[in-house]
Amino acid sequence: MAKALFDEIHLGRRAAFGEQGHGYSDWHNFRWQHGKAMGVIPALRAITEDAKAASEAEDKKRYGGPIDGADTILTRDMLRYGNRP
């Protein structure tokens, strides 16, 4: 949940400086800057990093290392086995 909120705010800020955004005067940039000033952004970042570290530690404990994502596994298998059915 914290990661989703952090990502939403962060992606909004990035959009503020994109083609459709209004830069520093954009609402999404204001939301990011205000969140930083109030401590929300650092807190969300810390929660997200702690959750990631806990997940990686659990994967290492349970499986001996990190678990690759589906995109990595599919790419590796396509390279290994080609387009065979």
**Domain residue extents for the chain:** 2-81
Residue with tokens 């994109």: 18
The string of pLDDT tens digits covering residues 4-21 is: 999 999 999 999 999 999
Q: What is the pTM of this model?
A: 0.72
Identify the CA nearest to 10 among candidates 35, 43, 47: 35
Residue with tokens 């659990």: 58
The string of pLDDT tens digits covering residues 42-54 is: 999 999 999 999 9
Identify the CA nearest to 47 among candidates 9, 14, 6, 12: 6
